Structure 1
Amino acid sequence: MIGHELGGRYEILEQIGGGGMALVYKAHDVLLNRHVAVKVLRQQFVNDEEFIRRFRREAQSAASLSHPNVVSIYDVGQEDETHYIVMEYVEGHNLNEIILERAPLQAQEAVHIALQICDALEHAHHNQIIHRDIKPHNILIGKNNRVKVTDFGIARAVTSSTITQTGSVVGSVHYFSPEHAKGVNAGEKSDLYSLGIVLYQMLTGRLPFLGESPISVALKHLQENFEEPRKVNPHIPQSLENVILRSMRKNPDERYASAEEMIEDLDSCLLPERMHEDKLEFADDAEVTRVMPAIRPGMETAAVPTSTMKTDMMQTRHGEQPLESREPRQSEKPAKKKWVKPVVTIGVTLLIIALLLVGFFYLVNKLDTEEVEVPYVVNEIQERAEAMLEESGLQVARPVTYEENPDVEPGIVLRQSKEGMRVKVGSIIELVVSSGPDMELMENFVDQSYESARASLIALGVDGERITMDEVFSEEVEAGIVVSQSLTAGEEFNPAEVTVSFEVSKGPQPFDMPSLIGKSQSEAVNEIRQKGLVINTDTGITSKPSYKPQGEVLEQFPYNPGDSVTRGAEVTLSVSSGLPEDALEYTFNIPISPTEVNGTSEIRIEFSDARGDNQDFGKRRINSMQNFPVKLVLDPRTEALVSVYRDEIFIRTYHVTYDAARSGTAVAEPIESNPPPVVEPPPVEEPPPVEETPPVIGTPEDPPPAVEENGDGEDGDQDEQ
């Protein structure tokens, strides 16, 4: 069926469910470009003409329903021997899955779901459509929490030849009403009985009737009582239990008269004034087997069955003696003695006189009893009030009446009888004592959502402003779930005064994303696992060509190094698959000699190519010319650079281009040793030049200028300068 196109319009995509009579598929409506649900009748029913006729009629009736809580019917058709119904596709879960996952549900959530189901039934019943198969499997909960009831009108098409099939029963016997189990015509109240079972299962997590076979379960619907919901789950309000008790009565006359009446009860059952109402009581069913009392002497006539009495009368009319007359007569008792009757008469008369005397003296005693003033004990502690009354010679009525009062502490007297009066000593005084406010028991909200816990407390009367939360990191608990609560489960509290605080998980604590780029694939995967991260199941680890070594991580996403992540986050890696197709691997040979002939030198080479810059080739000590093969990876768009250092002194840099390497013309010139230094003779020192005496200017008669020895004169200063 998958891949088939029904009616030239509905392309079957996948099977999403199935029941006793039909299979349900998800399909694509190619005409309106939307997803729909297609219910296809099982092949074993296609030859039953009566079933086919009713199937079509009821499917058309269901299609006439238009309600937000009813799955819409779009189309009904037949292709060859395939009969199908096209209906609205609801994305979400059915109620049975939700019950299995987290039942028992909170009272508010269960009532919210039941109200929508009941609203759908009210609309259907108004249109003379009886569902007859209300069960959690037929209740769909969409992602917007909208409840949708499906399978309207199909169960009604079952004939006597299709009630059962191999290994299963059409419909579910666990949700049958008693009249359904009897096989009589089931009406609107049968749907309400089934809804009561669904509500019971939501609140308790179990079914009311279980058995080893469908027949045994059906008999329990007819004959046995179910365990009351509050005995299974004490947190269910009494008002809500009353809804279940009434909807699941075996006598249809004792159930709700209509879905509308049940809606009204559901709508108000969680109001504060109703939550503690009295439990509903019903008269015993007429069909319940009763234990008859044993027949005792003197009761033979009353206990004789009517049929036996009629038989004896008929026998008498025909001249026969009744059974008693045919038995032998016993001998008559002897006559009583004549003195017995006067003795009895006298005894009774004396007893009456004695009683009259006792009553007279008692009355006189009461009339003469001392009177006392009734003390005022209102607002006193109960023990003190009772002591005050007893000291005055009065008695306290038992049991003492207790009354809830949020304004008065427990144990304080609220009211008293005969206040401000004088009464006889020994009179009884009635007290009404405060039991304090209406206390509630704290539920266990751990592992529930904070919003659900808050809603439950508000429904009990707790002010929302006195419900607080403190968010904490948790590795085990998902965000929004309660980790702990200030009041322990089962502890009593006053909703009008209590303050409740919750610790709520905000998920795992975030940390900085490590850098995985440049690491090998195995190193990156190990670090991801150590950090509590996971490899993305869809994209996983991708690879692409690069000039990095094969298996080296090139990219990481969606989290870059330093981004904030939490445990469980999914990471995708991109690793190198090796060199691109146009990459060229080339060995560049460089012959190098030591600095001096027959000397020793340390050679260091660095190179830059398509794989990266300033890569270290390594160091080597040589004492003669040696060849250094440098393996390069060349990119057509760049060139490689090879730098040579001898004894940590830069010698030269070679430029190796892609084209030269490809043609084989990239050849390194050898680096020779430095030539030995030339020894030159020391220079000959020449004698210093002889200074010539300057000619004397002037006449011979003029004497030479005088020079002062101490140099203090003006001429001396100039000579020094």
Structure 2
Amino acid sequence: MSTPQPGDALGASYRLVKHIGSGAAGDVWLTESTRDDATYAAKILKAEHANDADLVERFVRERSVLIGLRHPNIVAVRDLVVEGSTLAIVMDYIAGGTLRDLLAAQKTLPAAEALNLAAQIFDGLTEAHRLQVTHRDIKPDNVLLAEAWQPGQRQTVRVTDFGIASVVSARQRQTSGMLGTPQYMAPEIISHGHSTSAADIYSTGVLLYELLSGRTPFDGPGTDFTIAYRHVTALPPELDIPRELWRAVNDLLAKDPRDRPSAAEAAATMRRLAPKFHDLPALAPAAVAEDFVEAERPRTMLRSDLLHETNLTGDVESSVAQDAPELGPAPQHTVLRPMPVARTSEPDEPATEQTPADEQQSWFTKKNIVLGLCGLVLLVALVVGGIWLFTGNADDAQTASDTALQASQQDPPLPTGLAVSRQASYDPDAEQITVEITYSAQRAPLSGQFLEVLPATDPEAEACPAVSWEGAAAKSHQTSNTGLRAECGWQLDGVDIPANDQLTVTATLPGSITDQQELNAWLEAAAQATNTALHNPDASSTAYPVQRLMDIRVETPSRTVSQTPLPITLLPVWPSGPDELNPLYQSPSSGSPSKMLQNIAGDESGVRFSDNCSGAVAISSDGLTVTALSVTPQCSIHASVGNFTSLQSSPLSITTRD
């Protein structure tokens, strides 16, 4: 159904009545059943979803789960229509509008009303989580009201789009970092691509914050990636509300998913607090924050995700220490070489006896005065040198930490879908640092060459440290081959990260670390040096595309003629700007896909075109070829390439042949 119209059939059992809304996934129509004239809402998914065989298969497989998800606070899914190029979800029609509409009208809500609405959302999530169904995209747009909102209403909330969020955005079981809405995404989705029921708790916490203040906690200047990354690195600005209420909101927004309450616990808390703050008026809408307080990084990180620092007992700590391998004596030692103490030697022969006058005259000769002064200078030098050797140098020998240290660092997610985290551990016995670098991919597989910079721990060192690698083939980065300057850089070859998966490589290098602060600073410096080299705007290079590609430009002619294939070029955009000399992909295609396309999207299967041309163009079944069909003064082409899902061309027109 390329252009649905009122009166059109939807499958064998429904008829379209009128268009009532649009969303990121598709259009919503008021629909009548042809069997009993009952009214429903039908969400007709975009053509790219209907043409995705894997997604359709998953919908059919999950149909019984979605239809069986019944709760007073969940919009019930009644049917699934799969017919030709049409894929639609038929569900109950809820007439009261969305929480987004309510926010637009009210700006903020009194605390008791906001808590009541949040409690109903948590009630619905409790049932969904019991059935192992997570929503993954809780936001005001996906929360409906059974009737027009009035203060004091109860049982009015209906959470919708479980079918969309848990299937469309969950084609993979680990949600890609930017498949949700950045303002509402949990930190673990941003940093690792992992989504559990705790992510729904976090998103509802963001929604509650918005109901109270009129804005989401991390909204502010910057791109979607900037906003998303604040969930990982920044603390939510505190609202001017009672401490007990703020603690409840803040608990929902905990960075660690294990610190958040369950949906049932959160619902109980909301209901307990609502009567306490019945008389608390609505806040004035909060201004968008310009600055954010950075969240404190943990001082110690355990590699196992199953352990939590606050749960460690003395027994656990001692067992961990006992299990540590014995590495033997350190290969290098600081050696103190004390300077011998100078002694006055006795003359071999007795001195010639002199008269007092002669003795006085010989002592005051110019030569003896000079020698005496030199001896005094030497004595002072010996004393100072001895003090430095036995005190200052001893201090230097003690500067290296004698305890094991650990530090962690996380890069912001990249537009290609790559997330990078680094864990460094210092072994004082071996005087070496081990760095575990974890690369995570989102919706598209990522591969190719990667860059990592590992500087010496001593900033005054003239040479880069020797590094041994595990998990990837590595060689020294060559500026002459890549056009990028990266001192102490390493080129990792053959990195291959499946979609929604991760790969860890390990680097080991010698180094001496004084304390925790120094290890943190060194790891941050390594990450910063890597990113500075990769994102140098003055460097024109196609090297390391997974780490450097910033955007993709969709190029089409401004005018084409009907009944001909539409030429489309996808241009990579690097930190230095668009690269017209090295296109990423051209349609109609010929030959093998470019290496860059394979690196960021796997191959042509990661490319899909769609249109906003009202039927004036046709898209091939594989989504790779666009053909102009009929005359139109203006339309545009949309493209999805790997993790880049919202690409659009400049407007073009289709005319008849001259």
Q: Which has the higher contact order (CA 8 A, sep 6+)?
A: 2
TM-score bracket for this pair, using the shorter chain length: 0.3 to 0.5
Who wins on radius of gyration, i.e. which is larger? 1
TM-score by length of 2: 0.41
